[in-house]
Amino acid sequence: MTVYLDANASEPLRPAAFEAMARAAFLSGNPSSIHAEGQAARRVLEDARHVLAEAFGTEADGVIFTSGGTEANALALHAFRRQRMAMGATEHDAIRTPARRHAQVTALSVTPEGTLDIDALGAFLDSGDAALVCVMAANNETGVLHPIREIAARCRSAGAWLHVDAVQAAGRVPVTLDTLGADSLAISGHKFGGPKGAGALLTRAATVDPLIQGGGQERGRRGGTPPLPAIAGMAAALREALAEDGGQQRVWRDRIEAAAREVGARVAGADAPRLGQTSALVLDGVAAQTQLIALDLAGYAVSAGAACSSGKVAFSHVLDAMGYGVAAGHAIRVSLPWNVEESDVEGFIAAYRAMALRLGGAGRRA
Ligand code: PLP
């Protein structure tokens, strides 16, 4: 059986989320209907909304349910589509792709450790008319955490809106609108053990320019009957994720990194503040795809950076922006899921060691 170590692509579904989904799935009513069945469905929807509002530090009407992180980011950007914006060079394609439709987009450089270059942000903000800045809370490939509070303070004094893609951070490290100082946050349920198909844009401002218009759901900000089972599952997963501290995962993550270094790997962003369950391991000279195939054959599911729809292994724009050059094609990402066990970690270490000694520089030297 395959051991799944690709949590940043999608976390395994939590049983509590599944139970909440099953309960919601049997509610026949549409939350917009007046009758008792409709109102029962509405209660589940509003309970979930309160869980998210409380978790991310906003009021209930600051929660706009979406189909996931991609849509939440696109919705945030949509309101600024004719204005100047900047984004970190290591953002996910869920920001980079809609950003291309903006009149003027500046990609802000990052340090070799992967954190946003604050001087680059300052230069952008000083150049005038800065409407929007997008910086992710945690990077999906390296786990590196950006200094969002500092970024927020800069944006606030320049009058620019700060949108934070918190898809990888939510449920793993504390993120609220207040503690980050952000104007909006995007989150996605399947990244913390909920089902695929639900996410949210969290904001305090009432005005959002809708991407999808229709029956006036979500106060006219996102049309369409909400996917109640997915939303109920997301809220149940979030409750559980927030009760965990991730300490054990961090210990195991460190063990993996120490073992990988022994066989010649480098750890991208190692000296930056990072998520405790993500490692980007660079094995110089060995194509990411070769590593993935070897590990897959050994029974370990990991990935090379972002999961893209074509299933192809793409060159990592994240490691490229961090200055890795050709080695940006030689990295794999290990991201430990909420239900990882010590035997999974030990098994992975043995498989990685064998793979690196066979294919890597350390092996060639031996
Ligand atoms: N933002 C980041 C940082 C991500 O890692 C992902 C998914 O990998 C997304 C956005 C997109 O989220 P979703 O899959 O819910 O659309």
Report angle CA 316, 74, 84 to the nearest 5 degrees: 85
DSSP state of 14: P
Number of neighbours of residue 12 by Cβ within 10 angstroms: 15
92 lines ligand 1 (CB under 6 A): yes
Mean pLDDT on 317-329: 97
DSSP helix/strand/coil, 20? helix
Band of pLDDT at residue 281, cut at 50, 70 and 90: very high
pLDDT: is 241 or 206 the higher one?
241
pLDDT: is 310 or 166 the higher one?
166
* pLDDT tens-place string over residues 196-232: 999 999 998 766 899 999 999 999 999 999 999 999 9
Q: Measured in Å, how far apart are the chain's first and last C-alpha atoms?
A: 31
pLDDT computed for residue 313 by the predictor: 65
For the cut 90, the answer to whether the pLDDT of residue 34 exceeds it is: yes
pLDDT computed for residue 101 by the predictor: 81
* β-strand partners of 165: 186
Mutate to test the pocket of ligand 1, among 96, 145, 191, 196 (most ligand atoms within 8 A of CB): 191
* pLDDT tens-place string over residues 111-124: 999 999 999 999 99
Query: Which of 251-262 are b and which e, b meaning 16 or more Cβ less than 10 Å from the residue's Cβ?
Result: ebbeebbebbee
For the cut 90, the answer to whether the pLDDT of residue 332 exceeds it is: yes
Mean pLDDT on 93-97: 96
Mean pLDDT on 126-144: 95
Sign, CA torsion 98/269/186/154: negative
pLDDT computed for residue 1 by the predictor: 86
pLDDT computed for residue 364 by the predictor: 47
230 lines ligand 1 (CB under 6 A): no
Type and span of the H or E element at 64: strand 63-66
DSSP state of 192: T
Number of neighbours of residue 149 by Cβ within 10 angstroms: 12
66 lines ligand 1 (CB under 6 A): no
| The one-letter amino acid at 291 | Q
- Strands 184-188 and 161-165, how do they pair? parallel
Mean pLDDT on 43-61: 97
303 lines ligand 1 (CB under 6 A): no
pLDDT: is 81 or 274 the higher one?
274
Mean pLDDT on 234-262: 97
* The ligand 1 atom nearest the CA atom of 306: 8
pTM over 0.75: yes
**What is the percent of the chain where pLDDT is above 90?**
90
Q: d(Cα 125, Cα 130) in Å, to the nearest integer?
A: 6
Question: 155 CA distance to ligand 1 centroid (A)?
Answer: 24
- Choose the catalytic residue: 60, 153, 308, 326: 308
194 lines ligand 1 (CB under 6 A): no
Question: 165 CA distance to ligand 1 centroid (A)?
Answer: 8
Residue 186 dihedral angles phi and psi, to the nearest 5° = -110, 135
308 is catalytic: yes
Q: d(Cα 190, Cα 235) in Å, to the nearest integer?
A: 11
**What is the percent of the chain where pLDDT is above 70?**
95
Question: 200 CA distance to ligand 1 centroid (A)?
Answer: 12
pLDDT computed for residue 206 by the predictor: 62
